[in-house]
Amino acid sequence: MEKPRLIREDGLRHDGRRPDELRPVRISIGVLNKASGSALVEYGGTKVLAAVHGPREISQRHILLPDRAIIRCRYHMLSFSTHERKSPAPSRREIELSKVVRESLEPVVISEVFPRTAIDVFVEVINADGGTRTAAVTAASLALADAGIPMRDLVVAIAVGKVSGTLVLDIDEAEDMYGEADMPVAVAPSIGLITLLQLNGVLSREEFSEALKLALKGASQIYEKSREALRDRYMKVKVEE
Amino acid sequence: MEKPRLIREDGLRHDGRRPDELRPVRISIGVLNKASGSALVEYGGTKVLAAVHGPREISQRHILLPDRAIIRCRYHMLSFSTHERKSPAPSRREIELSKVVRESLEPVVISEVFPRTAIDVFVEVINADGGTRTAAVTAASLALADAGIPMRDLVVAIAVGKVSGTLVLDIDEAEDMYGEADMPVAVAPSIGLITLLQLNGVLSREEFSEALKLALKGASQIYEKSREALRDRYMKVKVEE
Amino acid sequence: MEKPRLIREDGLRHDGRRPDELRPVRISIGVLNKASGSALVEYGGTKVLAAVHGPREISQRHILLPDRAIIRCRYHMLSFSTHERKSPAPSRREIELSKVVRESLEPVVISEVFPRTAIDVFVEVINADGGTRTAAVTAASLALADAGIPMRDLVVAIAVGKVSGTLVLDIDEAEDMYGEADMPVAVAPSIGLITLLQLNGVLSREEFSEALKLALKGASQIYEKSREALRDRYMKVKVEE
Amino acid sequence: MSHTPSPGIITPKLKANTIVNMIKKGIRSSGRGLTDYRPIDVVVGYVQNADGSALVRLGNTVVVAGVKLEVGSPYPDTPNEGALIVNAEFMPAASPTFEPGPPDENAIELARVIDRALRELKAIDMSKLAIVPGRRVWIIYVDIYVLDHDGNLVDASSIATLSALLNTTLPKVEVDESGNVRVEKNIRMSPLPINHKVVTVTVAKVENVLFIDPDLDEEGVIETKLVIAVSDDSRIAGIQKSGSGGLTEAEILAALDIALKTGVSLIKTIESRVLEPTLGLSTNTLGQ
Amino acid sequence: MSHTPSPGIITPKLKANTIVNMIKKGIRSSGRGLTDYRPIDVVVGYVQNADGSALVRLGNTVVVAGVKLEVGSPYPDTPNEGALIVNAEFMPAASPTFEPGPPDENAIELARVIDRALRELKAIDMSKLAIVPGRRVWIIYVDIYVLDHDGNLVDASSIATLSALLNTTLPKVEVDESGNVRVEKNIRMSPLPINHKVVTVTVAKVENVLFIDPDLDEEGVIETKLVIAVSDDSRIAGIQKSGSGGLTEAEILAALDIALKTGVSLIKTIESRVLEPTLGLSTNTLGQ
Amino acid sequence: MSHTPSPGIITPKLKANTIVNMIKKGIRSSGRGLTDYRPIDVVVGYVQNADGSALVRLGNTVVVAGVKLEVGSPYPDTPNEGALIVNAEFMPAASPTFEPGPPDENAIELARVIDRALRELKAIDMSKLAIVPGRRVWIIYVDIYVLDHDGNLVDASSIATLSALLNTTLPKVEVDESGNVRVEKNIRMSPLPINHKVVTVTVAKVENVLFIDPDLDEEGVIETKLVIAVSDDSRIAGIQKSGSGGLTEAEILAALDIALKTGVSLIKTIESRVLEPTLGLSTNTLGQ
């Protein structure tokens, strides 16, 4: 990929978006048959599938906990989801993101209801165009809801970046690769908790607070779309019944 | 290995065999001391050792079954058994053949007699000159018999190939490498069941039925030799007793 | 490293030592907070840390023994401890030395006192300048004592080498690399048992017995220093109490 | 080591009996016959970053296959040809019984069966895939991911593989004077050169009855199955008996006849789905 | 797969309550305040065979970091720059709960957080690390080993990493006419070129109280923590929220202010420890 | 991690006592004395595809060793010499207690002990194994497989290794003007150049009695053993104390004397078996 001009003369971004504009967001819930819950989430060209199995018993009994369900999470990229083919062995990046995505879900799952069980979350990145971990969090949260897991709130996530000196919402791969900073944020809006926060890049104190505000603004739009998708899903299920 | 002329002007094969002729078959039963049963089978230059341990308890209890013994099988090549040295790590080919050999034995082992146990079959390819999986099936079947495992029938196996347009029995490595098709077949002759069938190559419908008949003909010769070897073995044991 | 002149004209070694002279030995006991026992042992530039956890229960129950504690031991080199960076994967050398070090400790640990438990010994080579396995044995033995594990005797170890035709005590890396033989020896002096003996190189029968005597002489010096270090440690602990 | 598998999610005895009895009468759930496939959906170009891709639904079974083209060194014995590498993974999302980790023996067998059929039939014209003859060639990675498992994974994977290959285009390459290769993925020159099309047809056996395209419940009752690769010119391009049972000679020949007939028409169906513009199918979902 | 961790060595309920109550009053064991670090010892040059090294004690936490320089090939997209590879291992010696084996997710996260801070800040001047431009460059391996675990491994590791890098010198290299590189490790030419210094400051949260440098007992009661990388010029060079809880927007901003203030002075402390001759510290022990 | 092994198949107490009592009287099963080997069979050339091979029976212990020669790059510090790589595997066929999988510590120790003896003695003349000096040399892979385990695997493996090396021949090689090497495996030029022959003699200890070649039952009662590599010119080419016990200085010296005496005559036995035509031994079985 060659470096595009990230901020054009008219102040818009290389794909024509305003700095605070999301890419098109598409959400489908309940797309899989054999999983307890599932969701397919797209942020522009990024396409992520999340599936939930459980709560269930597992053979590795020794990792279970007596007073709550454990969450197990795997963030995984299909080999052809990236520009260069990804080798099938788990990368260090995937191992880190599996942890980071799991920890973004822990604060909202009411795990005490299912002691001695595991809730398994499998994230598959089908196509990667920036923001795969944030799309993963949103998809995982919706898959948990689809599986009927009780939750304190939905968690939704979005990244803010700094490109050519400008803070921009929902960066794509070109902006991530050639920009100065990438800051993914996950939030449970109704309970006011930020459950994932990473900064990959360098920001001043002022830039950071501005960036965080921009992320929360974008997240609230994703939140609305997510709730809408859930509403549609449940109504459809009801009608089908 | 350079490509030999596979079918000579006189219609015979590169090693002088007729198209429907087996290589010399040698069978030794009970060759190992510490295994429950064992057999060494040679088809020409191909030499395969099979050993059986069990029925026995194993530490991986969770894979055992309540109503039958499980069969575990490993097809493995010694590093110096092939032209190029084989790396010690299990290859995808070895993993597939372990399954295929196991599934060729499943229909004849009366596994219900030993619930909650494992019957382990270890196949070691000592020298590979074509037909290692078929020699492996024959050897494994004889090792099971030597171990006293009750069986519905012996399973014996042989490959048919298509070389230079001709269907030939018991192909060797040169014929496999430079031929058009390789079709290994395992059969339990007395109960009329084909328990392994693979085709690696392209055949017409007519060629296939002809090839299958040729394989069954070759298998019946291996079957006779196998039963003879078992008879010899048992008589010898009796005499020694 | 370029080959130094190993034995100088004055009969001394490349670093000025006499053939039967040890490098400076430094011993610190109880250097770690979270381990049951620990010791840091230096032979010249070689620096080895040993830590003991246990006796304790472990999750791999099936390897425990009903009548004694098992000893588990890992000899491990930090990646930057050697001239060339050591890859983090366990080398065959590390696997062998883990066994050899464990077997040097087995005869002195009174393991019958703690049936169905594991005593874990972790050896970390921090800097390698020859003699890491012998420093490891001494450190491990002191860490066991520091952990309060009952022992029949301390085990201490030292290597003898043959360089430029001369038998020398406590060889360093240059002497190991360019010398003719390396012979590490571990001994429990009070009970008169040699618990580790390896010879890497070629010796005549006469050279061997001379080398063994030299090793035992060196070991007795290490033994004195070890007991001194233990006395200091216990007195200090008592004073602190 | 391969071992006798535990039955995954056990089909209750009563249900199993019902399934077997219906099959013996030639009837199956949703009314299809013994030699009918379930409905097939194909969405090609599902994955933007792949050089070719297809999402396939076969009933409730969902498979995505993607093709990546990389510049690499040829095998020493075929210096002027491209190379093909086929992998398959059964994703844990697809079934509560699938574990994350490297491919197990079933996934490896599936990939190798599909690989052999393509290879033996010379389905791809490898001689057109040398870039710098003897030195740099196209390596074709076909990666198959099972996303939802409702039975017959081999046929669904073979359909996805053929569709993804038909969807694959070669990017522009430039070779400088010292032989370095530069790929411009944004400029697409030509489709992947295909000599032959091939699919597998899996014929299942229960109590001497043969039928195709078993769903997951049916797989719980079958004794064994024969996977038969069928080429667009009605030849047999590979066979794999799979499962713990056996077949008679007559059953094998009957299975072949079913496969040859079904396979050729299946290839035609796939061709039309791949080449015609997608009607009524959204790339926004898993092809539902 | 990442899974909810089991509590390691469980802090008894009563003790845990005491810790929380004291933190809420702004008091901690050994009398330090909410934004005080435990005593820090730094021994540079601890490992003779490393090209740079440091042993760091942060209270009872002990970490050793070493730098190895190897001649290697550059990354294709930065042909004229050196490369940095950071690894971390939690040694089983350090805690009864650590198992031998390859780094787990916590060690990988730790290494990646430190790696990213160095990389994003361009802390090392990689453009000065080409040996034969386009072909041979210095590969900098930073390996971090946790030897004793009494909490706050990230900050202790980041202090050890910075100290080891400041202790690192480049050996003499000779390049012959055909481009072969010969390294003379015995002759040291110059220190590693450093543009910026950076440390992490970990801010922990329990019941809405923020504090830094949690020890192991305190880690048993905290809900979550924010690891903040702070540069010598007071910028934020990386953030990682870690742990199963969440934070409010206000808490995050407050944590940042604590980190910026503490981090800059911590860097000064490290600089003075590294550059001044070591006083009263023996290399014969683990820095006690 | 190495751990105290579980006793494999436990020798019943009574039988163990009998074995020990007999050894103390200098008597062993089948009437052999303390310094007698069990019968030794050697079949060289057992594996057609190997460049050298031998099947060895030592009593009921069976080991096959094979040599493969590959063209490869020399080690940087010995650019004009071949290289030797020794591996050993204990096959699960050989004992109910052996598990399939990569070599465990016992197999690794065995291979390394044999490797060191060959290497330190310069048993193979590596200087004659360069093909294109500095660039292409012969890599000698010795792979040892234990097929039946009735004790004393090290000595059986060392006999098999020596026999296989003596059976090894170098194929014809052609080097073209650009330095490419072409091997013609069908044309054999000369035997592998051997400087020295070496075998190990394992001396076992139980209650202060020393004896050689323990069988499996005897291994169940011994305290420790000393593996001593002996060269054809009566030198000690390596030692490895193995097992959980210890030995006195006097015991070690006594063991050495036994080994030196036994080893030299063992080498002669092997030479005669390898060089003379095989009498009465069939390659059709495992050497019985």
pLDDT digits (tens, 9 = 90+) for B81-92: 999 999 999 999
F4 and C106: CB-CB below 8 Å? yes
List the subunits that have 3+ CB pairs under 8 angstroms with A.
D, E
For residue F3, give the nearest of C72, C192, C196 by CB distance. C72
pLDDT digits (tens, 9 = 90+) for D176-233: 988 889 999 889 999 999 999 999 999 999 999 999 999 999 999 999 999 999 999 9
Collect all residues of chain E within an 8 Å Cβ-Cβ radius of residue A203.
235-236
Higher pLDDT, A230 or F285: A230
In this prediction, residue E12 carries a pLDDT of 80
Count of structural domains, chain F: 1
Domain membership of residue D139 (yes or no) is yes
Q: How far is A72 from chain D (nearest CA, A)?
A: 11
In this prediction, residue D278 carries a pLDDT of 55
Where in the sequence is the domain holding E235, given as residue range(s)?
2-275
Q: Mean pLDDT in chain C?
A: 96
Identify the bridge partners of residue C76 per DSSP, sorted by sequence position.
C124
| CATH superfamily ID and name for A25-240 | GHMP Kinase, N-terminal domain (3.30.230.70)
Collect all residues of chain B within an 8 Å Cβ-Cβ radius of residue D109.
96, 99-100
Angle between helices B205-240 and B132-146 in degrees, nearest 10: 30
E213-229: average pLDDT: 96
Collect all residues of chain E within an 8 Å Cβ-Cβ radius of residue C34.
60, 94-96, 148-150
Q: Which residue of F has its CA nearest to C70?
A: F4
Round to whole Å and give the CA distance between F203 and F154.
11
B61-77: average pLDDT: 96
D245 and B196: CB-CB below 8 Å? no
- Where does the pLDDT of residue F279 fall: very low under 50, low under 70, confident under 90, or very high at 90 and above? very low
Phi (first) and psi of residue D245, to 5 degrees: -100, -165
Domain membership of residue E15 (yes or no) is yes
Domain membership of residue E154 (yes or no) is yes
Beta pairing, strands A118-127 & A156-163: unpaired
In this prediction, residue D31 carries a pLDDT of 87
F49 and B80: CB-CB below 8 Å? yes
pLDDT digits (tens, 9 = 90+) for A162-197: 999 999 999 999 999 999 999 999 999 999 999 999
Q: How far is A27 from chain D (nearest CA, A)?
A: 8
In this prediction, residue E279 carries a pLDDT of 46
Handedness of CA F7, F9, F10, F14 (dihedral sign): negative
Q: Which residue of C has its CA nearest to E47?
A: C127
Let me know if chains B and E touch, i.e. at least 3 Cβ pairs under 8 angstroms. no
A55-61: average pLDDT: 92
C65 in contact with F, Cβ within 8 Å: yes
For residue B209, give the nearest of D109, D243, D253 by CB distance. D253
For residue E149, give the nearest of C34, C78, C85 by CB distance. C34
F136-141: average pLDDT: 98
Handedness of CA D153, D159, D163, D164 (dihedral sign): positive
Contact between A105 and A71 under an 8 Å Cβ cutoff? The reply is: yes
Per-residue tokens: F202: 């394992």
Phi (first) and psi of residue D160, to 5 degrees: -65, -40
In this prediction, residue E278 carries a pLDDT of 55
- Closest by CA to D200, choosing from D218, D225, D169, D171, is D225
pLDDT digits (tens, 9 = 90+) for A26-38: 999 999 999 999 9
Q: Which residues of E29-65 are buried (b: 16+ CB within 10 A; e: fewer)?
A: eeebebbebbebbbbbbbbbbbbbbbbbbbbbbbbbb
Q: Report the length, in residues, of chain B.
A: 241
- Percent of chain F beyond pLDDT 70? 95
Residue F64 scores a pLDDT above 60: yes
Q: Is D110 helix (H, G, I), strand (E, B) or coil?
A: helix
End-to-end CA distance of chain B: 49
Contact between E181 and E136 under an 8 Å Cβ cutoff? The reply is: yes
Collect all residues of chain F within an 8 Å Cβ-Cβ radius of residue C1.
none
pLDDT digits (tens, 9 = 90+) for C131-141: 999 999 999 99
Interface residue of D147, D150, D281 to substitute, partner A, most A CBs within 10 Å: D147
Q: Is F7 helix (H, G, I), strand (E, B) or coil?
A: coil
F171-182: average pLDDT: 91
pLDDT digits (tens, 9 = 90+) for C148-196: 999 999 999 999 999 999 999 999 999 999 999 999 999 999 999 999 9
Collect all residues of chain D within an 8 Å Cβ-Cβ radius of residue A126.
46-47, 64
Collect all residues of chain D within an 8 Å Cβ-Cβ radius of residue A75.
none
In this prediction, residue E280 carries a pLDDT of 41
Residue C211 scores a pLDDT above 70: yes
Residue D95 scores a pLDDT above 80: yes
- Percent of chain B beyond pLDDT 90? 93
Neighbours of E150 (CB within 10 A): 23
In this prediction, residue D47 carries a pLDDT of 97
D264 in contact with B, Cβ within 8 Å: no
E189-197: average pLDDT: 96
For residue D47, give the nearest of A51, A56, A127 by CB distance. A127
Taking only Cα atoms into account, the Rg of chain B, rounded to an integer number of angstroms, comes to 18
For residue D243, give the nearest of B92, B103, B200 by CB distance. B103
E6 in contact with C, Cβ within 8 Å: no
Alpha helices, DSSP H, located in chain E: 13-24, 105-120, 153-166, 216-219, 249-275
C74 in contact with F, Cβ within 8 Å: yes
List the subunits that have 3+ CB pairs under 8 angstroms with E.
A, C
Domain membership of residue D286 (yes or no) is no
Round to whole Å and give the CA distance between B14 and F164.
30
Q: Which residue of F has its CA nearest to C107?
A: F245
Tell me the pTM. 0.96
pLDDT digits (tens, 9 = 90+) for E144-190: 999 999 999 999 999 999 999 999 999 999 999 888 899 998 899 99
In this prediction, residue D158 carries a pLDDT of 98
CA angle F165, F167, F172 (to 5 degrees): 95
- Closest by CA to C161, choosing from C101, C220, C100, C214, is C214
Q: Provide the 8-state DSSP code for D34.
A: T
Domain membership of residue F281 (yes or no) is no
Alpha helices, DSSP H, located in F80-150: 105-120
Q: How far is D185 from chain B (nearest CA, A)?
A: 31
A58 in contact with D, Cβ within 8 Å: no
pLDDT digits (tens, 9 = 90+) for A125-167: 999 999 999 999 999 999 999 999 999 999 999 999 999 999 9
Domain membership of residue F288 (yes or no) is no
C98 in contact with F, Cβ within 8 Å: yes
Q: Which residue of D has its CA nearest to B121?
A: D1
Identify the bridge partners of residue D53 per DSSP, sorted by sequence position.
D66
**Domain at D123, CATH number:** 3.30.230.70
Per-residue tokens: D228: 């038969």
Domain membership of residue D143 (yes or no) is yes
Q: How many CB pairs under 8 A join C and E?
A: 98
Round to whole Å and give the CA distance between D273 and F288.
64
List the subunits that have 3+ CB pairs under 8 angstroms with D.
A, B
A78 and D46: CB-CB below 8 Å? no
pLDDT digits (tens, 9 = 90+) for F190-240: 999 999 999 999 999 999 999 999 999 999 999 999 999 999 999 999 999
Return the H-helix or E-strand segment holding F67. strand F61-72
In this prediction, residue A129 carries a pLDDT of 98
- Closest by CA to F237, choosing from F268, F255, F259, F210, is F259
In this prediction, residue D14 carries a pLDDT of 85
D286 in contact with A, Cβ within 8 Å: yes
E257 in contact with A, Cβ within 8 Å: yes
F71 in contact with B, Cβ within 8 Å: no
Round to whole Å and give the CA distance between A217 and A206.
17
In this prediction, residue F281 carries a pLDDT of 43
Collect all residues of chain D within an 8 Å Cβ-Cβ radius of residue A78.
47, 64, 66, 143, 145
Residue D85 scores a pLDDT above 80: yes
DSSP state letters, B1-46: -PPP-SB-TTS-BTTS--TT-PPPEEEEE---SSSSEEEEEEETTE
In this prediction, residue F7 carries a pLDDT of 81
| φ/ψ bin of F14: left (φ > 0), alpha (ψ from -120 to 50), beta (otherwise) | alpha
CB contacts under 8 A, E 89-128 vs A, are: 105-106, 108-109, 111-112, 116, 120-121
F161-186: average pLDDT: 93
